[in-house]
Amino acid sequence: MIAPATTPTHPLLETHATALDEARAALAGRTWFSRYPESPSPRVYGEEAAGAGVTAHEAHLGHPYAALDDQPGDGSHVGGEVSPYGPRLGVTYPVLDLDRGLAAARAALPAWRDAGPQVRAAVCLEIIDRINARSFEMANAVMHTSGQPFVMSFQAGGPHAQDRAVEAVVAGLVEQERVPTSVVWEKPGRDRQGNPAPTRMQKDYRLVPRGVALVIGCNTFPTWNAYPGLFASLVTGNPVVVKPHPRAVLPLAVTVEVAREVLAEAGFDRALVQLAPEADGEGLARTLVERPEIVVVDYTGGPGFGSWLEENAAANGILVYTEKAGVNTVVVDSTDDLRGALGNLAFSLTLYSGQMCTAPQNIYVPEGGVDTDEGHLGFDEFGERLAAAIGRLTGDDAKAVELLGATVNDQVRSNADSLGRIADEAGGRVVLESRRVTHPTFADAVVRAPGLVALDVSREDVYTQECFGPVGFLVRTASTEQSLAQLADTVREHGAMTAAVYSTDERVLDAARDAAADAGVALSENLTGQVFVNQTAAFSDLHGTGANPAANAAYTDAAFVANRFRVITSRRHVA
């Protein structure tokens, strides 16, 4: 009998064994789990952490990013990031030589493959721990590329993204561990004399990665949306090329730097993770997707390139995981906590000026109005009350910017400026203008509070398109029944990352769950406190469903990881 393959050993296995066990249990139960504290408080991360983060961030500004100089390249650099808060970052990044970079990635694959899933998971966890140690630096990098407010940059760009990374690592690990390394297969049988004579074979199952994976980052959540694909591919053995959005490179440069550092320390090839920066408009993502070496792609971004990817890359046998855009929907039927509901909705609309892929856009309210604990409100009254709640939340400029952040691009600013035109064209009415907010520190930042347009349900031509940024539509429906039917129809056709319902009626809630299941969108019910429809919790909430056009995948289910590796059997008779 041939000895089974030796089990790989690595010092990091022991370091992270407990953490991986805890994460495994959380993923299986979908219970609360967080490895990294979300509070940027000095009591958690230390008195020096915030200052050190600023210092580290500022050290990058105006300089080439030298820590990636060991990537294959010819010495040329690109980089033109401008903070949505105003300042030009002045960081440049070494251009990756694709031929040499992709060859290096391929050459790095066998040793990483043969290290096995447990070692890979432990190395990934070490990478994420080290990224966590740079969370304040990362917060500054995310803030000055995405335009998120600081605390959100810290949380979503730091610990929350890191928790999603751990989730992807553990999902990939568990999936690989479901395949036994080896089995002795024994088929009962008898010889010619009728004595037991089983057929015995040893079967070894070898896990092999797909090949080189590509992660295409986005502008608004450069780390949060890149980490699931990055770590899902890495833990399943695939070298990864990270192509950041040209206006949000720095957070992923830091990420790639840390990954390469840890990989080298752990005895692996740095080429397992590489950064492929590009100048704005260069079209590098497409160039990369058309390279034969690239066989897995994770993409977050606009629907144009996303659909091209789904159509073309998939046709070339590339696995594609996309998150694009949709029309997130809220159905308002009734509430026994009007103040809580309005506050929650206002916050969801306000946070990062609606520039979250999960922010609500369409709020369906029946023309007959809404029963509440403060009495019945007509359609218009409800709109006024929601506008007032937004006003309270964003009325003070200094406080407002800590929620709103800055607008990330001209399209968002143009959307914010278009409420009057939209209302006119749609035969509707501006309920709340998108207020211009002055940033007390960054004079050049364009900061906008959410605005609201009321229109009729018949104007699908207007509200079934994504209007990214601080714009909400109050859609007047005939009834809650119509609201729910419209939710199902529009999400099925146009996609959505989130849906929410407010109702005191169990029958309406049941109908909402059915509508959400039919549409393939996750549902939040009666959120009135400190959980918001825009937010999903790693290990418990699936982000996206893969069941509607907004995204073909979800963070993180088995389908997100199971196809990133394949199983190769070898079998032989044994005595």
Residues making contact with its own copies (CB under 8 A)? 2, 28-32, 113, 175, 178-180, 183, 185-188, 199, 201, 203-206, 208, 210, 310-312, 314-315, 317, 506, 509, 512-513, 516-517, 520-531, 537, 540-542, 545-547, 552, 554, 557-559, 562-563, 566-573
Show the 3-state SS of 24-81: HHHHHHCCCCCCCCCCCCHHHHCCCHHHHHHHHHHHHCCCECHHHCCCCCCCCEECCC
Q: Which helix (H) or strand (E) holds 323?
A: strand 319-323
Asked whether the beta carbons of 369 and 377 are under 8 A apart, the reply is yes
Minimum gap (Å) between residue 226 Cβ and its own copies? 22
According to DSSP, the β-strands at 447-448 and 319-323 are unpaired
Strand partners, 94: 77
- Cβ 285 to its own copies, closest distance in Å? 18
CA distance linking residue 537 with residue 568, whole number of Å? 35
| CB nearer to its own copies: pick between 362 and 536 | 536
In the structure encoding, which two tokens stand for residue 166, read together?
């751990």
Minimum CB–partner distance for residue 246 and its own copies (Å): 27
Question: How far is the C-alpha of 225 from the C-alpha of 497, rounded, in Å?
Answer: 13
Task: Return the number of the residue (152 or 387) whose C-beta is nearest its own copies.
Answer: 152
Q: How far is the CB of 539 from its own copies (least distance, A)?
A: 9
Shortest distance, position 184 Cβ to its own copies, whole Å: 8
Q: How far is the CB of 187 from its own copies (least distance, A)?
A: 5
CB burial class (10 A; 0-12, 13-18, 19+) of residue 410? exposed
Give the single-character DSSP code of 442. -
335 vs 434, beta carbon nearer its own copies: 335
Among 394, 454, 380, residue whose Cα is nearest residue 419: 454
Using the structure block, give the residue that is written with the tokens 């995204």. 551
Q: State how far Cα 412 lies from the chain centre.
A: 20
State both tokens at 152: 């959100």
CB of residue 572 vs its own copies: minimum separation in angstroms? Answer: 4
Give the 3-state secondary structure percentages of the chain, helix then strand then coil, rounded to 5: 45, 20, 35
Q: Which is nearer to its own copies, 69 or 514 (CB)?
A: 514
- Rounded to a whole number of angstroms, the minimum distance from the CB of residue 197 to its own copies is 10
The distance of closest approach from Cβ of residue 105 to its own copies in the complex, given in angstroms and rounded to an integer, is: 16
Of residues 260 and 324, the one with the C-beta less far from its own copies: 324
**How many Å apart are CA 233 and CA 213, to the nearest integer?**
7
**Residue 298: which residues within 8 A CB-CB, separation 6 or more?**
213, 214, 215, 216, 226, 228, 229, 230, 232, 233, 321
- Measured from the CB atom, the residue of 141 and 554 that comes closer to its own copies is 554
Question: Which CB, 88 or 572, lies closer to its own copies?
Answer: 572
Position 145: which residue type? Answer: T
CA angle 113, 116, 119 (to 5 degrees): 115
Q: Tell me the C-alpha distance between 366 and 317, whole Å.
A: 46
For residue 309, what are the contacts with CB-CB under 8 A and spacing of at least 6? 289, 297, 299, 320, 322
Secondary structure element (H or E) that encloses residue 248, with its range: none
Tell me which residue of 230, 210, 231 sits closest to 292, measured CA to CA.
Answer: 210
Q: How far is the CB of 424 from its own copies (least distance, A)?
A: 36
Write down the least CB distance from residue 561 to its own copies, Å: 9
Nearer to its own copies, 31 or 458 (CB): 31
For residue 562, the minimal CB distance to its own copies (Å) is 4
Ramachandran area for residue 560 (φ above 0: left; ψ -120 to 50: alpha; else beta): alpha
Q: How far is the CB of 502 from its own copies (least distance, A)?
A: 11
Measured distance CA(448)–CA(337) in Å, rounded = 28
Q: Amino acid identity, residue 355?
A: Q
- Report the residue number, 30 or 399, with the smaller CB distance to its own copies: 30
Q: Minimum CB separation from its own copies for residue 6, in Å?
A: 13
Measured from the CB atom, is 219 or 535 closer to its own copies? 535
Instruction: Look up residue 319 and give its two tokens.
Output: 């696995």
Residue 29 or 395: which CB sits closer to its own copies? 29
Residue 534 beta carbon to its own copies: minimum distance, rounded to whole angstroms: 13
Q: Which is nearer to its own copies, 262 or 330 (CB)?
A: 330
Nearest to its own copies of 399, 572 (CB atom)? 572
Within 8 A by CB and 6+ apart from 113, the residues are 207, 208, 209, 237
Closer of 175 and 466 to its own copies (Cβ): 175
Per DSSP, 317 falls in state T
353 or 358: CB nearest its own copies:
358
